[in-house]
């Protein structure tokens, strides 16, 4: 009797799901919205996550050709009580662009790629199906630019919604700081404008936490004149022992807090060394201007041994974007890559720099456990703050972005040995230990944070670390604009 009941319950649930999908198909088809479903031949390829550590199966992936069609898709998904998520470029570290779970309705924005540069006020209207490389090319053709990350394949939706840091950010701010207005599709399908003057609470929320509040279909950004010349500095040290590497990181921290100009951006990249007790150390910097570049970098370089390799590349602004990316800027020229990895982040406070003990413990961990790890790992240390930083010049409560007192943002990244699943279980503990090597040597109340664009699905106290003191206000706005939590995914505002 119990077996019969269970079988019938399963049958009822299956039929209900089938009926829901049928209704979904009918609603989308009635409005001409293209979609693929699990039964379609191309579904597997279209539903592949950038991070192959995840393998989620959406109910459907829709490809709207216009903003009204985005609205149709949202309404259709909400009617079936589905989780609805936007996918702008597919680079979510925890596959939130596929819902972060099975059974989501994915609204793929790849067909919304219009970019309109307006010379009248030097703004640009950008639809969120664009990727960073193509955006840089389009703006550069008009002599303009905005701050953004280096990877040309990243979609602008999540990038601008959660932050959007790049080498030009100390000069121009985060990408989200350039947003002047946006067009947002709400959970009820309403298409609304947002700005500092219209729907102001919503505008505040999307500048730091946008995917939880609606689908941002387009943004208006303030552009900047592309610098007439740039210089990219690239230095590598193939092998530094623990004391030398710790001194180098300490020197970078000291250097970052001196009077460096806003035209300067830089990052460290640390990797496995050639022998136990060593690390590989790289420093990349960009200077946006005609004069002052060499004088700016000289004090830091003097504190280090002679590099193994040095490359200095002067050129145009767009050439610097290409050099820093290391990939084609026209993302239609070649397919994107995939990986299987785990990433964590740490945003260190400018008001309380890392202690010498924390730096030494961190380097020791990389040079010992990092040498033994089977993963392919690296750590990026990105310079956000320092004197004259436009990132930290924005008042904390001006946007939902929660960390305006950041000196460095660390990205800890470890891939499986061949870049494919399965991901080794000790990769998680290895990354956790690397972050702990720093935190365990700082005070318990050290005001650090974490960066949403390097999202971690295993992060304890995620709401506080990602959203900080803004979380209560974000929850209030969420309850107002998305009371049914249509736009939901791991680590979102709920």
Q: What is the pLDDT of residues 125-142, one digit of tens each?
A: 999 999 999 999 999 999
CB of 36 closer than 8 Å to CB of 106: no
C-alpha triplet 316, 319, 322: angle, nearest 5°: 160
Non-local (6+) Cβ contacts of 283 within 8 A are 233, 234, 235, 236, 252, 266, 267, 268, 269, 300
Provide the 8-state DSSP code for 339.
B
- pLDDT range class, residue 20, cuts 50, 70, 90: confident
8: pLDDT strictly greater than 60 = no
pLDDT value at position 19? 45
Q: Quick one: average pLDDT of 324-335?
A: 95
Are 453 and 403 in contact by the 8 Å Cβ rule? The answer is: no
Q: What is the C-alpha to C-alpha distance for residues 456 and 473, in angstroms, rounded to an integer?
A: 22
pTM: 0.94
Neighbours of 242 (CB within 10 A): 18
d(CA 307, CA 255): 18
Distances (CA, A) of 467 to 178, 438, 488, 491: 20, 21, 16, 10
Rounded Cα gap, residues 78 and 215, in angstroms: 13
Nearest CA among 100, 35, 126 for reference residue 72: 35
pLDDT at 156: 98
Alpha-carbon distance of 66 to 74, in angstroms, equals 13
pLDDT classification of 4: cutoffs 50, 70, 90: very low
pLDDT surpassing 70 at residue 481: yes
273 phi/psi in degrees, rounded to 5: -85, 170
pLDDT in tens, 156-207: 999 999 999 999 999 999 999 999 999 999 999 999 999 999 999 999 999 9
d(CA 31, CA 382): 45
Question: Residue 16: its pLDDT value, please?
Answer: 38
Sign of CA dihedral 225, 226, 230, 232: positive
When pLDDT is averaged across residues 227-256 and rounded to a whole number, the result is 98
Could you tell me if 338 and 404 are in contact, meaning their C-beta atoms sit under 8 angstroms apart? Answer: no
Distance between CA atoms of residues 102 and 317, nearest Å: 42
């Amino acid at each position: 009797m119990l077996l019969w009941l269970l079988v019938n319950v399963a049958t009822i649930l299956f039929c209900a799901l089938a009926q829901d999908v049928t209704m979904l198909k009918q609603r989308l088809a009635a409005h001409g919205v293209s979609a693929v479903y699990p039964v379609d031949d191309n579904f597997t390829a279209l539903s592949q996550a950038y991070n192959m550590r995840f393998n989620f199966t959406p109910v459907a992936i829709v490809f709207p050709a216009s903003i009204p069609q985005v609205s149709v898709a949202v309404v259709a998904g909400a009617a079936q009580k589905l989780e609805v998520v936007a996918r702008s470029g597919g680079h979510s570290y925890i596959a939130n662009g596929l819902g972060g779970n099975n059974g989501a309705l994915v609204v793929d924005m790849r067909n919304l790629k219009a970019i309109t540069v307006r010379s009248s006020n030097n703004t640009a209207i950008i639809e969120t199906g664009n990727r960073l490389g193509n955006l840089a090319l389009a703006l550069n053709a008009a002599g303009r630019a905005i701050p953004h990350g280096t990877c040309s394949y990243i979609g602008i939706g999540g990038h601008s919604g959660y932050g959007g840091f790049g080498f030009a950010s100390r000069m121009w701010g985060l990408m989200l700081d350039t947003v002047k207005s946006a067009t947002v599709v709400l959970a009820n399908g309403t298409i609304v404008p947002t700005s500092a003057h219209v729907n102001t609470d919503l505008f505040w929320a999307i500048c730091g936490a946008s995917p939880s509040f609606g689908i941002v279909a387009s943004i208006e950004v303030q552009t900047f004149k592309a610098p007439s010349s740039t210089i990219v500095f690239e230095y590598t040290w193939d092998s530094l022992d623990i004391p030398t590497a710790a001194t180098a990181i300490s020197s970078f921290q000291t250097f970052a807090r001196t009077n460096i100009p806003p035209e300067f951006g830089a990052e460290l990249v640390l990797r496995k060394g050639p022998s136990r007790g060593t690390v590989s150390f790289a420093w990349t910097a960009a200077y946006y201007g005609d004069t002052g570049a060499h004088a700016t970098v000289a004090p830091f370089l003097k504190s280090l041994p002679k590099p193994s390799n040095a490359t200095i590349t002067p050129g145009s602004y767009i050439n610097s974007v290409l050099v820093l990316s290391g990939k084609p800027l026209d993302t239609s020229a070649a397919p994107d890559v995939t990986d299987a990895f785990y990433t964590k982040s740490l945003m260190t406070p400018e008001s309380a720099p890392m202690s010498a003990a924390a730096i030494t413990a961190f380097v020791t961990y990389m040079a010992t456990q990092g040498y033994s790890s089977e993963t392919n790992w690296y750590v990026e240390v990105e310079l956000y703050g320092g004197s004259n930083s436009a990132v930290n010049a924005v008042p904390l409560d001006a946007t939902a972005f929660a960390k305006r007192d950041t000196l460095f943002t660390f990205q800890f990244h470890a891939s499986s040995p061949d870049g494919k699943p399965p991901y080794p279980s000790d990769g998680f503990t290895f990354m956790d230990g690397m972050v702990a090597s720093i935190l365990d040597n700082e005070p318990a109340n050290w005001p650090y944070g974490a960066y949403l664009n390097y999202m971690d699905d295993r992060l304890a106290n995620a709401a506080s670390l990602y959203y900080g003191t803004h979380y209560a206000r974000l929850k209030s706005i969420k309850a107002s604009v998305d009371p049914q939590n249509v736009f939901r995914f791991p680590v979102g505002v709920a």
